[in-house]
Amino acid sequence: MKKIIALVVSFFAALFSIQPAMASERAMQGWKLIEEGAVIVDVRTPAEFAQGHLEHALNYPVQELDQHVAKLNKDDMIVLYCRSGARVERAIQFLQSQGFTKLHNAGGLAELEQAVKATQ
């Protein structure tokens, strides 16, 4: 009976254990572009940015992006990230409407951090 209980416990432990996430393709591509000199834009709120961000990232919250667009160069590659990648999609739509074409959605901050760990 003890063996059966141990087997059942082991099965459920394995079934529900959290496996390390694989780095996403968009995050890996984001790091490649950053290493090549892309501008990094964090579109999260200032409070989120203060809790942690990528080195050299500019904090241009998506809801204030229209106030910062003049600071960006349309010729530069721009890598954008947020928490999950959803706000980046809105930011990219806005920047494209302003004539920007060199844009990459690198996803969320945790996703990017996972990608950099995968390359080490």
Query: Is residue 107 a contact partner of residue 87, using CB atoms and an 8 Å limit?
Result: no
82 in active site: yes
Q: Which residue has the tokens 């000199």?
A: 37
Catalytic residue among 43, 78, 82, 103: 82
Catalytic residues: 82
